[in-house]
Structure 1
């Protein structure tokens, strides 16, 4: 299935707003791939399909993960919206004929991120946050600049804002988001130390 065929199929499964967001993430993923030396076609495909399971109801997400033997954590069971990432990776493979493990992995972790992401995973995680159709978010212009200049710093910035927001809106933050934040804070501290040595 080529990307245009994927687009046409995806449009029938998403709301207009979600489809517009997906096109924005596709575009930004391609741009970031060019800057960070990643296969552009992979990035475009991951960006396009990242939310392919987003518009299912919470009950449908749980039911379809259970039916297809996709693991559900306690946090995901309490917040089924989180399941759209791993279910999206499954759908990308089964319904959109995506076989590339890098694309599937990027889709699977695009919501929370994960420690030690590869560059394609980082790109999709960031593109989902900064794409131009998003409503204005705190410090978004600075974050967009960081995405192209220092993507690891950008990831820390995104997760800091996300965790701060979740801290005021829920008592059940996904542990993977916290693990990812802690990993990249430590990673950034090491990178900053190395820069000091270089100077």
Structure 2
């Protein structure tokens, strides 16, 4: 478990960066990440760090995102996909810079928590699924996702990727190419 003093210092900063609604979501993701990490014997502390910081930049402006993309030479095409894609990679950079997190598992989990990736550490898998099934979620299919998460993180990942792509296609919006790549890789494993 994450040291309570470290946890509180993160939460204090986080409260200044996100809305109350988003803050409550982060706490629910942390709770779900702890549950999944415990069930699957994954490092709970790493999962807590990732859960607490995953939405740090969720409510930033496009100008703020652009500054970070430039600073770290990240893929500028992410700007075309909005905050849904941008907030994870930007939050990972902030976790490193502001919170001095150097652990690749934590940073990758934050970076890819909405995009997905063809290779995911156990910490990344936990965050990817926990963010999708936290107890405040009510979308159609969340019950099935929760059932799958109890059976296998990998099954839940495939389900999330599949549902995300179908949702975006139905909305007739562009789908970030790395998400499609992740889906293609994960579906080939099943």
* TM class by smaller structure: over 0.9
Distance 1:6 1:104 in 2: 15
Cα distance in 2, alignment partners of residues 40 and 142 from structure 1: 24
Q: 1:153 to 1:26 in 2, by over 3 A?
A: same
CA distance in 2: counterparts of 1:145 and 1:109, whole angstroms: 22
Alpha-carbon contact 1:61-1:80 (below 8 Å) kept: no
Question: Is 1:109 aligned to 2:103, yes or no?
Answer: no
Shift of 1:73: 4.2
| CA distance, structure 2, for counterparts of residue 70 and residue 48 of structure 1 | 25
Partner of 1:87: 90
2-structure distance, mates of 1:116, 1:97: 24
Aligned residues: 185
Structure 1 runs of 4+ with >3 Å offset:
none
C-alpha separation between the residues in 2 aligned to 1:30 and 1:41?
A: 8
Pairwise CA RMSD: 1.4
Deviations 1:124-166 (CA, angstroms, capped at 9, x unpaired): 11111111122x1121111112112111111111111110110
| Cα-to-partner distance string for 1:29-75 (whole Å, 9 max, x where unaligned) | 11110111111111111111101111101222123321x1231242x
Distance 2:141 2:105 in 1: 30
Contact 1:70 1:87 in 2 (8 A): no
CA distance in 1, matches of 2:16, 2:142: 30
- Does residue 1:2 correspond to 2:9, yes or no? no
Q: Structure 1 residue 78 and structure 2 residue 60: aligned?
A: no
Alignment of 1:1-199 (within 5 A): 2-66=6-70, 68-74=71-77, 76-81=78-83, 82-134=85-137, 136-188=138-190
* In structure 2, C-alpha distance between the alignment counterparts of 1:13 and 1:158, rounded to whole Å: 27
Gaps of 5+ in 1: 189-199
CA distance in structure 2 between the aligned counterparts of 1:128 and 1:180, rounded to whole angstroms: 17
Rg comparison, structure with higher value: 1
Using the size of structure 2 for normalisation, the TM-score is 0.92
Structure 1 residue 178: Cα displacement: 0.7
